[in-house]
Amino acid sequence: MLTVPSAIFFETFLSFVGLGMPIGSCSLGTLLSDGFDNVLIHPYKLVPPAVVMITLMISCHLIARGLEKIITGREG
């Protein structure tokens, strides 16, 4: 579960640089790339995919830590 955020990041990065999903597929990286291309004209296009990516990565990390605490039975 702790590797899911890194997988999300790597897929987003590869799609951002053009090596990920094929053209026409919806990906966080392609959305960020499209927003980055138009950042001077429409800077708000970067916000939604960035918020979704950050929320996914943080939520996966928190769920993994919670499951780890439940399974091991330790606090802290």
> Mind listing the pLDDT tens digit for each residue in 13-31?
888 888 877 777 788 888 8
Average pLDDT over residues 48-58: 86
Residue 2 CA to residue 33 CA, distance in Å, equals 26
**What does the domain layout of the chain look like in residue ranges?**
4-72
- Write a three-state SS string for the chain: CCCHHHHHHHHHHHHHHCCCCCCCCCCHHHHHHHHHHCCCCCHHHHHHHHHHHHHHHHHHHHHHHHHHHHHHCCCC
pTM score over 0.85: no
